[in-house]
Structure 1
Amino acid sequence: MLTIYSDDHRLHHGRCELIDGQLKPCFEMPSRADHVLQRVKARNLGPVLAPDDFGLAPVQRVHSADYLEFFKGAWQRWAATGSEGDLLPFTWPARTLRSIKPTSLHGEFGYYSFDAGAPITAGTWQAAYSAAQVALTAQNAIQQDGLPSAFALCRPPGHHAAGDLMGGYCYLNNIAIAAQAFLDQGRKKVAILDVDYHHGNGTQSIFYERSDVLFTSIHGDPAIEFPFFLGYADELGEGPGTGYNFNYPLPAGSDWAAWSQALEQACAQIQAYDPDVVLVSLGVDTFKDDPISQFKLDSPDYLSMGARIARLGKPTLFVMEGGYAVEEIGINAVNVLEGFETV
């Protein structure tokens, strides 16, 4: 399987995030992608190529112009104040406040974010931009070159980023950008399967009112798990998108037996939809030893996961998302890919 990867991911290395009432070192760190790349090479999964540059146009098909302008220029504005450290938001337009965009940097950051888990550093824009190009290059390998599958080793991840909102370690929604590119290049129907422990709230929101993208997600129950405010089973889409959104929230402690039942349900929806291509938000934070998740999948389970996805029989793009047990992230991610290729 072809892997697309960029060293630019190392340009984004946040010092801290606000979690559990403390500023802690970021769980989303460069070594995550490094371990996956090492495993891809150790297992001889296939060629590893650098991304092409498709420019901002395909990114703008998903993200608003004002959001991209803010994100691209935020660090320069921060550095101009003489401040040190990461740029982090600290206030948001909550329910009793107006959703209005201020002119100050901190006010705008609150307007364009939903948590304090997406620090902006000197290299964050370039890292996120390159991650989107990684996804687009892998998409192009399937769409234009006719490959049956490809792996976009993206970092930072993307599935929590909405059209004009960052958060949850995510800035640009890599899988949504790739999905839109497939549609813009002639595909009629795209299915997204999100297997990350945390609900892909950004991806859902981008396609929630559309019927040309089926979104399915298996994740921790948002009543007790991040992102808390999206990912419930009764969210089925709106308007033309009604009936094209399916969430499968599971309780803490769910193992492969429970998780695989949800996977069967999601696959049944995908098969009924009969998409032209399947995109997988490949988060492996469902692992039993992940430090910020509560499922109990073990490394061999990821082989079975990949094999089941392969039986959908569709061209498939895998896009890297979460996974924070750094020593095992490469094993588990590559197990999915190897399981896919055994079928």
Structure 2
Amino acid sequence: MRCFWDERQRGHAPAAEFYNGALHPAAEHGGRVDAILAAIGPTEVPRDHGMAPLLAVHSSEYLQFLETAHGDWRAAGREGDAFPYTFPVVRRRPLDLARIDARLGQHSFDTATPIGERTWDASYWGAQAALSALDAVLGGERSAFAFTRPPGHHAGRDYLGGYSYLNNAAIAAEAALAAGVRQVAILDVDYHHGNGTQDIFYERRDVAFASIHADPTMDYPYFWGHADDGGEASLNLPLPRGTTWAEYEPALVEAIEWLSGFSPELLIVSYGADTFVDDPISHFALETRDYAPMARRIAALGLPNLVVMEGGYAVEALGANVAAFLSGF
């Protein structure tokens, strides 16, 4: 399988995230990069597709904010990463938000996703990795892997959160449609619901979205991903903490069968290895040996498929988990 990665994606280096009333070491750190690259072997440098595919998904206002936020943070006399602290209860679009603090709150939904000096650069090249892997699949490859880092599936059209800044799966899906694919399916198998992806395509039928994830009454992102939270073409299958492969597999079969009903021509998989039993921030109980059968189930759908990387924070096992999943294709 061809794999795409750009070293500029290392530039995103958050020192900490804020939750439970305190700063904690960032879970989405550079150690994930080394673990995955050591396991997957050679990678290809992505081609620069420019801003147009990003603008097809994200608002121009948001992209400009993301590119300039850290510079504005430093210009305001702040040190380190830029963190939001004030959020509108009802999201609005004020005519003028002069302070960087206000703009951070306007475009964020949590305090765990800071913007660093090179966050924009890393996110931009992560999106280019997804687009280049898409090129490979549209060019005839059966499967391709985009090592997208930072992750993307929590990012909406004009907001960040969940360690996500640009929605790589959505960017690839929109680019595929622009290239002539008539129907795209997105299968999200990260531990957490892909709320940003669902939001972006909520009123669409040309992109069908199915997500298998932790019960949002107990786990992040809480406000999205309930079983009755569906758009024009979205399916949410929340599962309880402690879910093993024996309980997970029937949900996967259901999601695949539901997606096949849309007669998709391309499958995009948002893969998160945070379903692993020892993941430090998640609570499913899948084992490394389960990821190849998971991928074989997905591959049996018989579609060209693009795999984009989302979460997974048990660094010692992360490389093996990613390699096992890719082996199933």
- Common topology (TM > 0.5): yes
Deviation at 1:98, TM superposition (A): 5.6
RMSD: 1.1
Q: What letter corresponds to residue 274 of structure 1 in structure 2?
A: S
| Aligned residue in 2 for 1:292 | 281
| Aligned residue in 2 for 1:6 | 6
Mapped pair 1:120 → 2:109: no
Distance 1:314 1:83 in 2: 49
Mapped pair 1:89 → 2:84: yes
Secondary structure at the aligned position of 2:319 is classed as helix
**What does 1:150-229 correspond to in 2, within 5 Å?**
150-229=144-223
Distance 2:271 2:224 in 1: 19
Q: Deviations over 1:270-325 (max 9, x none)?
A: 22222000000010100000000000000000011011011000000000000000
**What does 1:1-343 correspond to in 2, within 5 Å?**
1-41=1-41, 47-95=42-90, 100=94, 102-143=97-138, 145-237=139-231, 241=232, 244-340=233-329
Q: What letter corresponds to residue 205 of structure 1 in structure 2?
A: D
Where does structure 1 lack aligned partners over 5 or more consecutive residues? 42-46
Distance 2:18 2:78 in 1: 19
Distance 1:289 1:51 in 2: 32
Q: What letter corresponds to residue 62 of structure 1 in structure 2?
A: V
**Normalising by the residue count of structure 1, what TM-score does the alignment of the two structures yield?**
0.94
Deviation at 1:142, TM superposition (A): 1.0
Deviation at 1:82, TM superposition (A): 2.9
State percent identity of aligned pairs: 48
Deviation at 1:129, TM superposition (A): 0.3
Secondary structure at the aligned position of 2:275 is classed as coil
Q: What letter corresponds to residue 170 of structure 2 in structure 1?
A: A
Secondary structure at the aligned position of 2:273 is classed as coil
**Normalising by the residue count of structure 2, what TM-score does the alignment of the two structures yield?**
0.98
Q: What letter corresponds to residue 322 of structure 1 in structure 2?
A: G
Runs of 4+ in 1 over 4 A off after TM superposition: none
Distance 2:226 2:77 in 1: 43
Distance 2:177 2:205 in 1: 12
Distance 1:49 1:57 in 2: 22
Tell which deviates more after alignment, 173-182 or 267-276: 267-276
Distance 2:188 2:178 in 1: 22
Secondary structure at the aligned position of 1:48 is classed as coil
Distance 1:72 1:99 in 2: 19
